[in-house]
Amino acid sequence: MHFLATQDLIVFLLYFVIVSAYGYWIYNKKKKATIAASHDYFLAEGSLTWWAIGASLIASNISAEQFIGMSGSGFKMGLAIASYEWMAALTLIIVGVFFMPVYLKNKIYTMPQFLHQRYNSTVAMIMAVFWLLLYVVVNLMSILYLGALAISGISGLNIYVCIFALAIFAAFITLGGMKVIGYTDVIQVFFLVLGGLVASYIALNLVATQNGETGVWKGFQLLSNKANDHFHMIFNKDNSNYMDLPGLSVLVGGMWIANLNYWGCNQYITQRALGASLPTARGGLLFAAFLKLLMPIIVVLPGIAAFVLYKQGMFQTEMLNSTGVVDVNKAYPTLLNLLPIGLKGLAFAALTAAIVASLAGKANSIATIYTLDIYKKNINKNADEKKLVSVGKQTIIVALLLAVLMSLILGEKLMGEGKQGFQYIQEYTGFVSPGIFAMFILGFFWKKTTSTAALFATIGGFIFSFILKIAPSFVNLSFLSPIGFAVPNSHGVYEIPFIDRMTIVFVLCIIGMYFISIIQNKKGIKPNGLEIDTSLFKVSGKFAIGVLFICAILIFLYTYFY
């Protein structure tokens, strides 16, 4: 069992005091400047700057599943897992250019509100309930449990103490509203990036030292030589990791669906920019895209370093789980325990910052959807602004309490011993992503899309995903192998990689929605199509330069590490 030294605790306490004091100052400043309006509380309407929006997007996105899960994937498969981060940078640009103008022009504050306005109240209510269940049962619980597991392994504290402490810290930040979350996330990102870079620096230095060399660059060169197979972005079909990242599909297939659904159709993410002007929102998304380019350095390289050090005889006991099998999700915590006193506290603060920011963002999104889309529309239509803010705060407390309860009861069973790594989370989120994204994308850009077609995508998308998941048990899918859509598992059974499965399901949803809409249009059903002005998609010169810069970096990265 590892414990934090006094100096590490001082560094961590300093982080805690800075974030809490700044959040309290922002909260009091907001109280003096504005009334307790619901849109101000949930969305910080008009008060977040571009850099606060960008920082908040990253702080809310990066959590235990990246630090722990993605580092574990780096240990197992290498730099290819960075596609989730680098493709997200390009996705953020697309969301800024095409999605955000539609949301802001139509004064959209929540995703269910968009569905109500574009389709009908039935679609909106079904999705509101679905998102609430998803955020509480899956996201809050997984972030809380995995985060507590990592912090417990580093600090030596009891995991149950860590669960309660994280929930309380997150509640303190969340109850101040989106403005407090947005601006404290700037500090969270500072600690997240600085602490993450320190951990990567130490890891690369350690690789160099273990091989009789010195320096970070030398450590990176040694990584490239000793784990050459871990530095390819695109896998061939004979690669053992092809099932997780199927070749070019990460560039032209299902990876786009996963990213566009997450960054463009997700209350938890889009909420940061929905209260801003279009130029400010786009600036925030572009800043977040730049930060995304850095993330693999922080969360993937340490995993590759741990792999090389493990192969050289280090971590032979630390990396094993209770059954004696290598647990890749222990790669990052194991590395952190090697950090010098003081720096370990900084890295520990970075990990805590990532977890708390994600918890706060999820809890605020839960409160926003419940208050504005369920309570206001169906329970108390005459509720005033003060009442809505009060209900939002109560919802935050209830959501966090439920997450704590589920973590205590189900956490070990569902996510213990590395069962819930990054790829696991991505695959099962992919059961619903294709249908939701199909519903949004046609809702945006095809006026003829009907509400029945939207319901088909939502429910049908999940059914299609389930059928394709179990299909290998009943059907020989080897005929899909020549085009790379099926690969044999360890038992010789041909399975469809889940990223390709998302592509297939998305196409089926689009086809189904098209024919359902055309048939209903002929019957005289007129959908609530959005008015889209192409001038909305024009961008400023500064934004265009930023986009070109990011695209140039991405082209270089994928060309060099192909």
Q: What is the pLDDT of residues 227-242, one digit of tens each?
A: 888 999 998 888 888 8
Residue 35 has pLDDT above 50, yes or no: no
pLDDT of 558? 92
Residue 420 has pLDDT above 50, yes or no: no
Residue 551 has pLDDT above 90, yes or no: yes
| % the chain with pLDDT above 90 | 20
What's the pLDDT band for 555 if we cut at 50, 70, 90? very high
- CB 65, CB 425: distance < 8 Å: yes
What's the pLDDT band for 415 if we cut at 50, 70, 90? low
| Token pair in block for residue 205 | 């230095």
Cα-based distances in Å from 446 to 119, 307, 441, 513, 536? 12, 48, 8, 11, 16
Q: Where in the chain is the domain with CATH 1.20.1730.10?
A: 6-412
pLDDT of 373? 84
Question: Cα–Cα distance between 119 and 354 in angstroms, integer?
Answer: 36
Residue 61 has pLDDT above 70, yes or no: yes
What's the pLDDT band for 372 if we cut at 50, 70, 90? confident
From start to end of 110-166, where are the E strands?
none
Cα-based distances in Å from 141 to 136, 166, 343, 352? 7, 12, 29, 16
Residues 523-543: tens digit of each pLDDT: 888 888 777 778 888 999 899
Residues 245-302: tens digit of each pLDDT: 888 888 888 899 989 988 888 876 776 677 678 899 899 999 999 999 989 998 899 9
Q: SS3 for 494?
A: strand
Question: What pTM was computed for the model?
Answer: 0.83
Question: Cα–Cα distance between 299 and 68 in angstroms, integer?
Answer: 8
Amino acid at 201: Y
> For all residues of the chain together, what is the average pLDDT?
82
pLDDT of 521? 92
Residues 317-326: tens digit of each pLDDT: 777 766 667 7
Average confidence (pLDDT) over 383-412: 84
- CB 401, CB 164: distance < 8 Å: no
Helix (H) or strand (E) holding 495: strand 494-495
pLDDT of 30? 59
pLDDT of 528? 81
Q: SS3 for 205?
A: helix
| Token pair in block for residue 356 | 């708390």
Residues 104-114: tens digit of each pLDDT: 888 887 788 88
Residue 125 has pLDDT above 70, yes or no: yes
Residues 482-504: tens digit of each pLDDT: 777 788 877 778 888 888 889 99
Torsion-angle region of 516 (φ positive above 0: left; ψ -120 to 50: alpha; else: beta): alpha
What is the signed CA dihedral for 536, 541, 546, 547, rounded to 10 degrees? 50
Most confidently predicted of 121-135, 137-151, 432-446: 432-446
Domain formed by 6-412, architecture: Up-down Bundle (1.20)
